[in-house]
Chain A
Amino acid sequence: MKFKTRRTMLYIPGNNPGMLQLADIFGADAVLFDLEDSVAPNEKDAARDLIANMIRFREYENIEITVRVNPIDSPCFERDVKEIVASGKLNAIRLPKANSAKDVKTLEKLINKYEKEYKLKPGSIKIHPMIETAIGVIRSYEIASSSDRIDAITIGGQDLTANMGVSKTKEGKEILWARSQVVMSAKAANVDVIDTIFADINDEEGLIEETRLIKSLGFTGKAVINPRQIKPIHAVFAPSKDEVEWAFEVIDAYEKALKEGRGVIAVRGKMIDPPVRKRAQRIAGMAYLMEQE
């Protein structure tokens, strides 16, 4: 059974070859090579080359490869997209400061162009818009539904609080509304939704607490800045034993019904409709992943 999930996306600074080569060994579901905030302006070129070549030659195993390029208004933006697409083995580009559908379209056009130029399968590279301004939050549904290439949207807490003129706190009350809004937009657009980082790498309890919160809000995953944060997040996203048993009952009942040509099924006295079945499949997939870990 193959199951794709994005419980964790591990940020790796694009100018750190030691970390880049280790990207696939920590058990994160996805990595996020960064060209934006973690790379100094005079190192952007070197980092871009490094990331592109790393993706091209280093055969990463069982991991989604995404790259955060510089924002649209940056002089690096187009070179970033061109070189990273040229690497040929990219899964998605994360677009920082996505403020409108137009921003997404700008990136989409560039990807179209370079996918063609480098003879890649059309549409294979996804877009992950990053919502990190007030206007972005307000327009998040418009952004999330602006391209077929989008299969996840994300929220950036640091920039968003700066834009709001408030401090980011551990409790995160200041971005609760934004988080909820972004989740709602993602659900409406039927895409994944990834939460912002938890900055204090030594506070595992705090990380677990925040992950519980964002899971309950509807986030499907969380960005991480240190490999130590991966395990605790996966543990929070793990389904309970009862949920797993239920999920397999649903899947079995559905398959049985399919064989017998029955349309309507019930498990534990409750009707199973397609969205419930989908949820059961997701839980079963998650259980399989946990077993592998």
Chain B
Amino acid sequence: MKNKLGVKLPDHIDGIGKILPYKGPFARVRGLKKEGLTTTGVKMRASLPGKKKVFKDLKKVIELSGLKDGGTISFHHHLRNGDFLLMNVMKVIDEMGFKDLTLFPSSLTSAHQGIVDYVRKGVVKKIYTSGLRGELGKFISKGNMEIPVVIRSHGGRARAIKSGDVKIDVAFIGAPSSDREGNLNGVRGPSACGSLGYAMVDAEYADCVVAVTDHLVDYPNTPISIPQYQVDYIVLTDKLGNPDKIGSGSTRLTTNPVDHIIAEKAAKLIFNSGYFGNGMTFQTGAGGASLAVAKYVADIMEAKGVVGSYAIGGISSYIVDIYKRGLFKKMFDVQSFDKGVVSSLLNNEDHLEISADFYANPFNSGAIINNLDVVVLAAYEIDTDFNVNVLVDSHGYAQGASGGHSDTSAAAKLTVIVAPSFRARIPTLVDRVNTIITPGETVDILVTERGIAVNPKRKDLLENFKGKGLNIIDICDLKKKVDKITLKPRMVEFGDKICGLIEYRDGTIIDTIDQVIE
């Protein structure tokens, strides 16, 4: 069968099950009532007063957790590149002789390259994640896993857990601080990472929750991000992670002049879009041009005396600074991007920690992003239908992350993609992206250093931008302009094997990661 975007898909994949084809950003959301789904139950646990929860031996706790071969274990990636926990747990699991596990982290980073060995040994049979990097991404893209990896957005992961598509047997939660009963937060301790937003969903729906901490504090540990009634065991460890890699001081603004050109144009567009004004809600990524857009938007807000309602998403210290300038009233934080954010989350009552469910799950009674006015996002590739790839690099390898890209772009009233028109000599703007993460029907504007393209379905925006000196051109003409400079690169060759499935936030399959032929 083919999905709405023409991607060929099998009806069924062994180890995955029935494949639902993507039918449009809200097709399944609209029809969900008819599906009559119910949230699956979590295994009931009971505990006697005075039950001992704290252990020093991880192995002992894994035995107690009831994990079996073929089970599903989950992790969060709030410790980013500094995470020690996932690999430490995998080492013990391997020593204990477990096989055929499903590894279900909220994402994988450069700290997790060692997983390749556990796949080879048969310890890990399936991987469900948001992102893949480095050797692991190459390993998967070369077709080395029997069962395709499933890539989910942050909202889509929350949906998959809540709907029972993925049942977590044991959730291992890296806890920067915990008390003896398992009240957890990410804002205290040597491994403080800020928000525990992704882990909150795991804690609620896993059959067994194991918190691992390097900072056990007196009872009660507050603020309580994950409450003790969801936590079964607490394991003490020397170090959860490398603090230098967990958070890099504070996020700095790019000095790349091209990023600034793009960002300034994007801010001007946002200002003229009709969504700029008091009470606006805003999200932007932490990298390069995206964060620079926040600077220029904030400057315009200040100049015009505009105060926004909230900034949301991954929160960086730069966004905290904008809040401190009085330009937004609140910040919703599902993931803190740098160390500078941690003290704000701890001390500032307008800085609110939220779960991935609350943030972006399409299958609940209203995620925060449903009220998002403007989101600014990046792209590895974008095509003339405005489809965006943020996962597969120009060599065909999975080297990125789905993140909240497709969630926010579906929900926001205005989705702005900022990207240079080419990187080194590889064009960003292509006929068809390698792998669709975000469908073009949810993307409104592409801003490059060489011109701005507006999705033709947004006639209202085109009208608003008229006569504003914004240099808007048809996306196909923009592509021609770029092609003239870069010429057409030779394309990577792909085989027939499906190495990964890109699951859209609603659980349907929007695209595949194909096998790179070397």
Residue of B nearest to A293 (CB): B469
Contact of A26 among B257, B469, B484, B485 (CB under 8 A): B257
Q: Is A227 an interface residue (CB 8 A)?
A: yes
Rounded to whole angstroms, the CA-CA distance of A59 and B484 in the bound complex is: 9
Residue of B nearest to A17 (CB): B425
Q: Is B450 an interface residue (CB 8 A)?
A: yes
What 1/0 flags go to B480-506 for Cβ under 8 Å of A? 000011000000000000000000000
Contact check, A227 vs B469: say whether CB atoms are below 8 A apart.
Answer: no
Minimum Cβ distance to chain A for residue B292 (Å):
12
List 7 A–B pairs whose Cβ atoms lie within 8 Å, in order of A's numbering.
A25-B258, A26-B257, A58-B485, A226-B257, A227-B257, A227-B261, A228-B260
Rounded to whole angstroms, the CA-CA distance of A190 and B240 in the bound complex is: 72
Q: Is B449 an interface residue (CB 8 A)?
A: yes
Residue of B nearest to A290 (CB): B469
Contact check, B449 vs A25: say whether CB atoms are below 8 A apart.
Answer: yes
Q: Which residues of chain A from 18 to 52 have a CB within 8 Å of any chain B CB?
A: 21-22, 25-27
Rounded to whole angstroms, the CA-CA distance of A7 and B469 in the bound complex is: 20
Q: Which residues of chain B from 233 to 272 have a CB within 8 Å of any chain A CB?
A: 257-258, 260-261
Contact check, B261 vs A291: say whether CB atoms are below 8 A apart.
Answer: no
Rounded to whole angstroms, the CA-CA distance of A84 and B250 in the bound complex is: 46
Rounded to whole angstroms, the CA-CA distance of A226 and B257 in the bound complex is: 8
Residue of B nearest to A58 (CB): B485
Contact check, A25 vs B485: say whether CB atoms are below 8 A apart.
Answer: no
Residue of A nearest to B262 (CB): A25
Residue of A nearest to B424 (CB): A18
Contact check, B450 vs A25: say whether CB atoms are below 8 A apart.
Answer: yes
Q: Is A292 an interface residue (CB 8 A)?
A: yes
Residue of B nearest to A230 (CB): B257
How many B residues, CB 8 Å from partner? Answer: 9
Contact check, B469 vs A228: say whether CB atoms are below 8 A apart.
Answer: no
Knowing A291-B469, A292-B469, A293-B469, the reply to whether A21 touches B485 (Cβ < 8 A) is: yes
Residues on B lying within 8 angstroms of A by beta carbon are 257-258, 260-261, 449-450, 469, 484-485
Given known contacts A26-B261, A292-B469, what 6 new A-B pairs fall within 8 Å (CB)? Answer: A22-B257, A25-B258, A25-B261, A58-B485, A226-B257, A228-B257
Point out the residues of chain B lying under 8 angstroms from A228, CB to CB: 257, 260
Point out the residues of chain B lying under 8 angstroms from A292, CB to CB: 469
Point out the residues of chain A lying under 8 angstroms from B261, CB to CB: 25-27, 227
Point out the residues of chain A lying under 8 angstroms from B449, CB to CB: 22, 25
Rounded to whole angstroms, the CA-CA distance of A206 and B254 in the bound complex is: 22
Point out the residues of chain B lying under 8 angstroms from A293, CB to CB: 469
Binding site secondary structure of chain B: helix
Point out the residues of chain B lying under 8 angstroms from A25, CB to CB: 258, 261, 449-450
Point out the residues of chain A lying under 8 angstroms from B260, CB to CB: 227-228
Minimum Cβ distance to chain A for residue B385 (Å):
25
Minimum Cβ distance to chain B for residue A37 (Å):
21
Point out the residues of chain A lying under 8 angstroms from B450, CB to CB: 25
Point out the residues of chain B lying under 8 angstroms from A291, CB to CB: 469
What 1/0 flags go to A224-239 for Cβ under 8 Å of B? 0011100000000000
Point out the residues of chain A lying under 8 angstroms from B484, CB to CB: 59
Rounded to whole angstroms, the CA-CA distance of A27 and B450 in the bound complex is: 11
Minimum Cβ distance to chain A for residue B252 (Å):
14
Minimum Cβ distance to chain A for residue B267 (Å):
13
Rounded to whole angstroms, the CA-CA distance of A26 and B257 in the bound complex is: 8
Rounded to whole angstroms, the CA-CA distance of A245 and B261 in the bound complex is: 30
Point out the residues of chain B lying under 8 angstroms from A21, CB to CB: 485
Minimum Cβ distance to chain A for residue B470 (Å):
10
Rounded to whole angstroms, the CA-CA distance of A178 and B261 in the bound complex is: 35
Rounded to whole angstroms, the CA-CA distance of A227 and B257 in the bound complex is: 6
Knowing A58-B485, A59-B484, the reply to whether A22 touches B469 (Cβ < 8 A) is: no
Point out the residues of chain A lying under 8 angstroms from B469, CB to CB: 291-293
Point out the residues of chain B lying under 8 angstroms from A27, CB to CB: 261
Rounded to whole angstroms, the CA-CA distance of A226 and B450 in the bound complex is: 19
Contact check, B258 vs A22: say whether CB atoms are below 8 A apart.
Answer: yes
Residue of B nearest to A59 (CB): B484
Minimum Cβ distance to chain A for residue B39 (Å):
51
Minimum Cβ distance to chain A for residue B24 (Å):
36
Minimum Cβ distance to chain A for residue B119 (Å):
38
Residue among B257, B449, B450, B485 with max Cβ neighbours from chain A (10 Å): B257
Point out the residues of chain B lying under 8 angstroms from A26, CB to CB: 257, 261
Rounded to whole angstroms, the CA-CA distance of A227 and B259 in the bound complex is: 11
Q: List 7 tightest A-B contacts by C-beta distance, closest first.
A: A227-B257, A25-B449, A292-B469, A25-B261, A26-B261, A25-B450, A228-B257
Residue of A nearest to B468 (CB): A291
Point out the residues of chain B lying under 8 angstroms from A22, CB to CB: 257-258, 449
Point out the residues of chain B lying under 8 angstroms from A59, CB to CB: 484
Residue among A22, A25, A293 with max Cβ neighbours from chain B (10 Å): A25
Minimum Cβ distance to chain A for residue B427 (Å):
13
Residue of B nearest to A21 (CB): B485
Minimum Cβ distance to chain B for residue A54 (Å):
10
Rounded to whole angstroms, the CA-CA distance of A227 and B484 in the bound complex is: 24
Rounded to whole angstroms, the CA-CA distance of A291 and B467 in the bound complex is: 10
Q: Which residues of chain A from 44 to 90 have a CB within 8 Å of any chain B CB?
A: 58-59
Residue of A nearest to B467 (CB): A291
Rounded to whole angstroms, the CA-CA distance of A107 and B261 in the bound complex is: 37
What 1/0 flags go to A271-283 for Cβ under 8 Å of B? 0000000000000
Point out the residues of chain A lying under 8 angstroms from B258, CB to CB: 22, 25
Rounded to whole angstroms, the CA-CA distance of A292 and B449 in the bound complex is: 16
Residue among A27, A226, A227 with max Cβ neighbours from chain B (10 Å): A227
Minimum Cβ distance to chain B for residue A225 (Å):
12
Residue of A nearest to B258 (CB): A22
Rounded to whole angstroms, the CA-CA distance of A186 and B449 in the bound complex is: 35
Residue of B nearest to A27 (CB): B261
